[in-house]
Amino acid sequence: MALIQIREALRQAMQEEMRRDKDIFLMGEEVAHYNGAYKVSQGMLEEFGEDRVVDTPISEGGFAGLGVGAAMAGMRPIIEFMTWNFSLVAFDQVVNSAAKIYQMSGGQYSIPIVFRGPNGTAENLGSQHSTSVDSLYAHFPGLKVVTYATAYDAKGLLKAAIRDPNPVVFLESEMTYGVKGEVPDEEYVIELGKADIKRAGKDVTLITWGKQLFNVQNAAEQLAAQGIDAEIVDLRSLRPLDHETIFNSVVKTGRCVISHEGFLYAGVGAEIAARIQEACFDVLEAPILRVANRDVPQPYATNLEQLVNPTPERIINTVRQVMER
C-alpha cells in the first residue's frame, strides 16, 4: 500500500490505462504543458507526448465534440473540463452527441469516452464556479455518472470508467485533490455501479456521494458519541444506481437521510428518496429527509457560503429529526 494524494491516484489511473492502450488520449485546457490546472496530469506530457496529452484552446463545446468524434472512429478519449461548470457550454455534446449516438445509430457506434474534472463547491469561488452538475447528467440514459471521495475509489473507478464502452461523466473535486489515502501497489479496478458501505451501522442509513462523504463521516462520528449508530452508503455511481445496496441498508435501519451537494430541487437525492419509498415503504419508520445546499446561487462571502453548504451540523440535526419520529 502507498499513501498518495487523490490527484496522484487519478494520474496513476490514466497513466496505467494509457500505457496499456494506445488509443487513449487526454485532452483539455492546460492539461499538457501547464501540467493541469490542478496538477492532476503532472508529467504526463513528458511520458506520452503531444499527440496523447493535448492542450486545447478555451473551447469546451469544440473539444468535447472532438472527443466524441474520435471515440466514434475507434479512440478512447479522456476529456478534462477544468471544472464541470465549464461543461455547460459543452452540455449539448455530452447529452445530444455522446449519450445518444449509440442509440441513434442502432448500436453501430459505441462512445467510449470519459469526461472528467472538478465538480461542486470549493471555497469562495462565487456562483458560476460552484455548480454541482450531478443531477443534470444523471438525468440522461446513455450516460454513466461516477464520483468518489477517497484516493482508493478515485483510482479504481477512473480505470473502470476509461475501460467502459460508454460515455462516463466522472465528477472530481478541487477541494480534495490533495487529500491522501491508501492505494494498493498492485493493479485493481472498481466495477461501476456498485455502492460501498463506508460505515456499517444499525440505526439510520446515510446516503451520500462525492466529497460530501467527509461531512457525512464527520456527522456519523458525532452521532455515534450521542448513541446513534449510522450506516453510510457511498453511492460512487449515480447512474447506474446500486438499488440493492441502498434498499438492503434501509430495510436494515428503517430510517434514511440523503445528503449531497447541489440543490434539493430535482436533485439526485429526490430520485433516490422516491425509489426507496417505492421499494421499502413498509419498513420506513420515518420520512426520508435530505440535506443539500440551500436553494440559492452560491454566495461569495464565507459566512454566507457556510450557511448554504450541507455541513455536518445540518446533517446531525436532520438525523435527529428522523430518529425522534
Partner 1 sequence: MNESQALPLQSNLPNLDVSGLKSIYRQMVLIRRVEELAAKAYTQRKILGFCHLYIGQESVAVGAAAATSDDYWITAYREHGQAMAKGVSARAMMAELFGKRTGSSKGQGGSMHIYDKESKFMGGYGIVGAHVPLATGIAWAAKQRKEGRVCVCFFGDGAANQGAFFEALCLAQLYKLPVVFICENNFYAMGTPLHRQSAVTDMSLRALGVGMAREQFEGFDAEVVRDRVGAAAEFARSGQGPVLLEIITYRHRGHSMSDPAKYRPDGELDEKKKSDPLAITKERLTQDFNVSEEEIQAIHDSVEVEAQDAWDFAESSEIPDPANLYDFTYAPDGS
Residue where the block lists cell 464556479:
129
Beta bridge partners of 79: 27, 115
Alpha-carbon span 322 to 294, nearest angstrom: 19
69 binds partner 1 (CB under 8 A): yes
97 binds partner 1 (CB under 8 A): yes
Tell me whether residue 142 or residue 262 sits nearer to partner 1 (CB atom): 142
Alpha-carbon span 124 to 246, nearest angstrom: 33
Q: Which of 28, 36, 77, 181 binds partner 1 (CB under 8 A)?
A: 77
Which among 207, 312, 196 is positioned nearest to 257, based on CA atoms?
207
Minimum CB distance to partner 1, residue 73 (Å): 3
Residue where the block lists cell 445540518:
314
Q: How many residues touch partner 1 (CB under 8 A)?
A: 43
Q: Which of 39, 75, 189, 311 binds partner 1 (CB under 8 A)?
A: 75
DSSP of 217-276, one letter per residue? Answer: HHHHHHHHHTT--EEEEE-SEEES--HHHHHHHHHHHS-EEEEEEEESTT-HHHHHHHHH
Q: Is 225 exposed, middle or buried (0-12, 13-18, 19+ CB in 10 A)?
A: exposed
Instruction: Restricting to residues 157-176, name those near partner 1 by CB under 8 A.
Output: 164-166
Tell me whether residue 160 or residue 256 sits nearer to partner 1 (CB atom): 160
Are 310 and 260 spatial neighbours (Cβ–Cβ below 8 Å)? Answer: yes
227 binds partner 1 (CB under 8 A): no
Residue 240: asked if its preceding bond is cis (omega within 30°), the reply is yes
State the angle between helix axes of 243-253 and 268-280 in degrees (0 to 180), rounded to the nearest 10.
60
Minimum CB distance to partner 1, residue 88 (Å): 13
Minimum CB distance to partner 1, residue 241 (Å): 14
Number of other residues whose CB lies within 10 A of the CB of residue 19:
11
71 binds partner 1 (CB under 8 A): yes
Region of 52-60, 182-190, 281-289, 291-299 interacting with partner 1 (CB under 8 A)? 52-60
Number of other residues whose CB lies within 10 A of the CB of residue 292:
23
Region of 72-80, 173-181, 244-252, 286-294 interacting with partner 1 (CB under 8 A)? 72-80
Cα→Cα distances 295→262, 264, 299, 307, 309, Å: 9, 7, 11, 11, 10
Tell me whether residue 90 or residue 235 sits nearer to partner 1 (CB atom): 90
Considering 30, 129, 139, 271, which one is annotated as catalytic?
A: 129
Q: Which of 33, 51, 185, 324 binds partner 1 (CB under 8 A)?
A: 51
70 binds partner 1 (CB under 8 A): yes
For residue 60, indicate whether it is catalytic. Answer: yes
DSSP of 6-37, one letter per residue? Answer: HHHHHHHHHHHHHHH-TTEEEEETTSSTT--T
Q: Cα torsion at 81, 85, 91, 94 (round to 10°)?
A: 40
108 binds partner 1 (CB under 8 A): yes
Minimum CB distance to partner 1, residue 162 (Å): 13
306 binds partner 1 (CB under 8 A): no
Contact track, partner 1, 124-143, x by CB under 8 A: -----------------xx-
For residue 129, indicate whether it is catalytic. Answer: yes
Q: Which of 21, 59, 202, 297 binds partner 1 (CB under 8 A)?
A: 59
Tell me whether residue 3 or residue 104 sits nearer to partner 1 (CB atom): 104
Active-site annotation, residues: 60, 129
Binding site for partner 1 (CB under 8 A): 25, 51, 56-57, 59, 61-75, 77, 92-93, 96-97, 101-112, 141-142, 144, 164-166
